[in-house]
Structure 1
Amino acid sequence: MLAAMPPVPTPKPAPGAPRVRERGDACPGALRLHSADDGHLARLRLPAGRLTARQVGVLADAAEALGDGRISVTSRGNAELRGLADGCGAELAALLAEAGLLPSATHERVRNIVASPAAGLDGLGAADVQLWARELDERLCAAPWAAALSGRFLFVLDDGRGDVTGLGGDVTLVAVDPRTALLHLGGRAVRVAAADAPRAALAAARVFLSAARASGTGAWRVRELPEDAGLDVRDVRDVRDVRDVRDGRDAREALVAEEVPEPVLPQGPPPAPGPLGPAALHVLAPLGRLTAAQLRALLPADEVRLTPWRGAVVIGAGPDRTSALDAAGLITRPDSPWVGVSACTGRPGCAKSLADVRADAVPGRPGLPVHYSGCERRCGHPHSDWVDVLAAPGGGYLVDGAPVPRTDLAPAVTTARTAPRTTR
């Protein structure tokens, strides 16, 4: 039986001191379940959000048979099952493994790979980074040392349009053209050949682990390293023992990596709900949750990619599928008042929440993203500028810090989403 892991308090550093992690992170996984007020929670890492049609059906079946009948889509395009009963861990693991969703029991929590979901579909990207994601995942699972990465460490692969560069990646790859990529780590970047991009990303993760060990802080993320940690993206050129999973040989040759002065990450919007090229549709899940029936409504499909914007790209679906997906309760149009509206779990699933934020969330005119949080942790909030709707003690909410009664949320949120503002 797989035991549920209790939450681990995060130690707070002294003012001006680097954060020190005295233990590994407690992020849930598919094999390490988290205990919540509504049952156990499993978080399934899906590199680049990719699911085959069969895997979509398996997740829907697992949600109904073992959980609360829903799938939560995370801000990294991963999937969460909630409301899991005691003692179901072994059955869940067997279902996922049989469907090919658990290629490595030792590495399942570190397979955090986000890639531009529209890559290869609409002709706008410089390279199909979805292919990079698959190779990086293979290399990651084949490297024993990579199991030491935190379950929060994130690889971001952007096809040049800038839609995922703002997601706070620890290692970020950006396609420049079909032959070239920029590898970003710790505010610096090197230029590498596109064919070497996945190997370079994995080498950068090893550079981070070396710096984290040398610093003695036990850092989980790049941003937690002290300034004098010695993290240098140029060191990827010296990482020569990363297993080459394509031909079974050690990659003895050094990477060719040319430093780029003053690198700038491209910034672009996420794809709007609707068609992506001639044979794909992008839909959003209301408040980031899909019922099992809604998940099955994505089928038939050649492939489904869950997105960091809590939606799904359905490959093999043309515009004629829009009406059916709309009827299933999915967000299919860019002018929907629910576009950009997200919420944490809230009551009754989370003991820390002060309100049922999903029930209180309101739609509004499109504008800035808005996120409803039940407590000050603000789980799952967007990474860019956003409207902060926080449950307040004693009832009501704070909208960007201003007290608002629950009954007045709609006009207050609409004003905050559309009013001029400075970036946080």
Structure 2
Amino acid sequence: MPVGESSGRTRPDACPGALQVHEAADGPLARVRLPGGAVSAAQLRVLAGCAAELGAGVIELTSRANVQVRGLRSPEVFAGRIAAAGLLPSPAHERVRNILASPLSGRGPDGLLDVQAMADALDRALCARPRLAALPGRFLFALDDGTRDVAGLGADVTYVATGRLLLAGADTGLTVAPDAAVPLMIDAAEAFLDELSPDGPRAWRIRDLPDGPAAIATRLRDGRPARTNAPNALDAPKAPQAPHTADAPQAADAANVPPSPARRPSAGRIAQRDGRVAIEALVPLGRLTSAQARALADLGRPVRLTPWRTVVLPDLSPGSPGSPGSPGSPDSSGSPKSLGEADRIERTLAAAGLVTDPDSPWAGVTACTGRPGCAKALADVRADARQWVRSLGRAPATPVHWAGCERRCGLPRGPVRQLIATINGYEERQE
């Protein structure tokens, strides 16, 4: 297990934010929270300008669908710009606005709810509760639209659109209607703070607490009986299960929340239920250059960032079958004016260096920061990963993660081939 996942901590959480920056080896690093991974074209343009004018020229995508800007020359100016762009609604809560959401938000074949609207409501409720500014910067919420793409990411508090509430990934047996889910998730965060011991080891996550999921579930049942275990407004969930014992919270069962296999980054078109399409593009090694960010912003469309360090543009017209540039057309070299909306955007993304080919060698290849940005790294893993990818003809069969040291920061979930830098070169492991 990577060092960053250990419990029994003795130091305060130092997770960076937009105001509390991290002094990295290459200069101050700021992290901006984007609840649900949502960012507007105007906001993305501001971030691109900040990266180019104040930082190292890149925007890093994180595994929580947030963004980082490295090498800041003026953290104060950066904070002022993102605040003006609406990316800092509550300075007191800016490090705790960690909210994942299914990127398609109900549009896909298995989606049941618009969870982006719920993410926005959760963000507002979180910022409105002064006490919750004390949450650790690692505490994580997730809203799954029924696709089960984020339900398996181990968030502290997860609402699945089938009506289930998960705590640290465990099925608590609690069900809740969609209109009551946000208040209950806020209550769960309050219950976590209630469980913290002033004298014991510091807990950053529910899983750090003794019997954490069961303890939080008990507080929710005792304190909110009208909200929990109530009839659900959705058709899918079953009746609530019996309360779990404190020493054995039940894992998600197949009848309620089927286990989610680790999702690897993907690229290409995704059919929406309304006949339109979304395009998901890989961002090589999770780093957007300022020019790439501007190209995305110039599309003038909302963008969804994902926990897999990809970008999604939903609600695109697919184009008429047989039209120039459309799939299956005998002439795929149509002029920009004759191309369908999705075709034009695919071309723009590809021209910017973003990957829309699902078989690209970049699919499944990740890396930590490495040298020179991290003082603990023993190699420039990003440069080594780029050179290695250039030798491939297609996507590796198993995801590959390049790590600069034993901490293995950014290690994806699921089976991963790991290339870990040591003083004697790279050591390969398979987990």
What's the TM-score once normalised by structure 1's chain length? 0.81
For the residues of structure 1 that align with 2:195 and 2:149, how far apart are their CA atoms?
Answer: 29
Map of 1:324 onto structure 2:
348
For the residues of structure 2 that align with 1:161 and 1:12, how far apart are their CA atoms?
Answer: 26
Map of 2:81 onto structure 1:
95
Match of 1:191 among 175, 178, 186: 175
Match of 2:229 among 230, 233, 257: 257
Contact conserved, 1:342 with 1:370, CA < 8 A, in 2?
Answer: yes
Secondary structure of residue in 2 paired with 1:204: helix
Contact conserved, 2:4 with 2:407, CA < 8 A, in 1?
Answer: no
For the residues of structure 2 that align with 1:256 and 1:171, how far apart are their CA atoms?
Answer: 14
- Shift, 1:280, TM fit: 2.5
Amino acid at match of 1:303: P
Map of 1:206 onto structure 2:
190
For the residues of structure 2 that align with 1:226 and 1:292, how far apart are their CA atoms?
Answer: 44
Map of 2:292 onto structure 1:
294
Q: Kindly indicate whether residue 368 of structure 2 is the aligned counterpart of residue 369 of structure 1.
A: no
Contact conserved, 2:265 with 2:363, CA < 8 A, in 1?
Answer: no
Map of 2:266 onto structure 1:
272
Query: Between the two proteins, what is the percent identity of the paired residues?
Result: 49
Which residues in structure 2 correspond to 1:46-65 (within 5 Å)?
A: 46-65=34-53
Cα deviations across residues 175-200 of structure 1 (Å, max 9, x unaligned)?
11xxxx11011524211111111111
Contact conserved, 2:264 with 2:399, CA < 8 A, in 1?
Answer: no
Contact conserved, 2:265 with 2:309, CA < 8 A, in 1?
Answer: no
- Shift, 1:97, TM fit: 0.6
- Shift, 1:288, TM fit: 0.5
For the residues of structure 2 that align with 1:232 and 1:152, how far apart are their CA atoms?
Answer: 17
Amino acid at match of 1:272: S
- Shift, 1:73, TM fit: 0.2
- Shift, 1:333, TM fit: 1.6
**355-364 or 221-230, larger mean C-alpha shift:** 221-230
Contact conserved, 2:59 with 2:69, CA < 8 A, in 1?
Answer: yes
For the residues of structure 1 that align with 2:155 and 2:279, how far apart are their CA atoms?
Answer: 26
Q: Kindly indicate whether residue 124 of structure 2 is the aligned counterpart of residue 138 of structure 1.
A: yes
For the residues of structure 2 that align with 1:215 and 1:40, how far apart are their CA atoms?
Answer: 32
Map of 1:233 onto structure 2:
217
Secondary structure of residue in 2 paired with 1:295: helix
Cα deviations across residues 194-240 of structure 1 (Å, max 9, x unaligned)?
11111111111112221223783321111111238961314224446
- Shift, 1:12, TM fit: 12
Contact conserved, 1:163 with 1:270, CA < 8 A, in 2?
Answer: no
Distance 1:134 1:239, change over 3 A: farther
Secondary structure of residue in 2 paired with 1:388: strand
Q: Kindly indicate whether residue 133 of structure 2 is the aligned counterpart of residue 163 of structure 1.
A: no
Secondary structure of residue in 2 paired with 1:198: helix
Map of 2:370 onto structure 1:
346
For the residues of structure 2 that align with 1:11 and 1:366, how far apart are their CA atoms?
Answer: 26
Amino acid at match of 1:48: G
Count the aligned residue pairs.
369
Map of 2:283 onto structure 1:
285
Distance 1:11 1:167, change over 3 A: closer
Query: Which runs of 5 or more residues in structure 2 are unaligned?
Result: 231-239, 243-249, 317-340
Distance 1:183 1:54, change over 3 A: same
Match of 1:217 among 198, 201, 204: 201
- Shift, 1:367, TM fit: 2.3
For the residues of structure 2 that align with 1:132 and 1:239, how far apart are their CA atoms?
Answer: 23
Distance 1:275 1:256, change over 3 A: same
**226-235 or 366-375, larger mean C-alpha shift:** 226-235
For the residues of structure 2 that align with 1:398 and 1:332, how far apart are their CA atoms?
Answer: 31
Amino acid at match of 1:66: L
For the residues of structure 1 that align with 2:223 and 2:303, how far apart are their CA atoms?
Answer: 34
Contact conserved, 2:207 with 2:213, CA < 8 A, in 1?
Answer: no
- Shift, 1:270, TM fit: 5.7
Contact conserved, 2:265 with 2:310, CA < 8 A, in 1?
Answer: no
Secondary structure of residue in 1 paired with 2:196: helix
Query: Which runs of 5 or more residues in structure 1 are unaligned?
Result: 1-9, 14-18, 241-252, 402-423
Q: Kindly indicate whether residue 103 of structure 2 is the aligned counterpart of residue 73 of structure 1.
A: no
For the residues of structure 2 that align with 1:46 and 1:95, how far apart are their CA atoms?
Answer: 15
- Shift, 1:74, TM fit: 0.4
- Shift, 1:40, TM fit: 0.9
Contact conserved, 2:265 with 2:308, CA < 8 A, in 1?
Answer: no
- Shift, 1:279, TM fit: 4.2
Secondary structure of residue in 2 paired with 1:232: helix
- Shift, 1:385, TM fit: 2.2
Distance 1:163 1:270, change over 3 A: farther
Map of 2:164 onto structure 1:
182
Contact conserved, 2:264 with 2:363, CA < 8 A, in 1?
Answer: no
**267-276 or 362-371, larger mean C-alpha shift:** 267-276
**126-135 or 352-361, larger mean C-alpha shift:** 126-135
Map of 2:25 onto structure 1:
37
What's the TM-score once normalised by structure 2's chain length? 0.80
Amino acid at match of 2:280: H
- Shift, 1:284, TM fit: 1.3
Distance 1:11 1:332, change over 3 A: closer
- Shift, 1:117, TM fit: 0.5
For the residues of structure 1 that align with 2:308 and 2:160, how far apart are their CA atoms?
Answer: 19
Secondary structure of residue in 1 paired with 2:76: helix
Amino acid at match of 2:177: A
For the residues of structure 2 that align with 1:380 and 1:60, how far apart are their CA atoms?
Answer: 23
Match of 2:428 among 396, 399, 403: 399
Contact conserved, 1:71 with 1:292, CA < 8 A, in 2?
Answer: yes
Map of 1:304 onto structure 2:
303
Secondary structure of residue in 2 paired with 1:84: coil
For the residues of structure 2 that align with 1:63 and 1:172, how far apart are their CA atoms?
Answer: 32
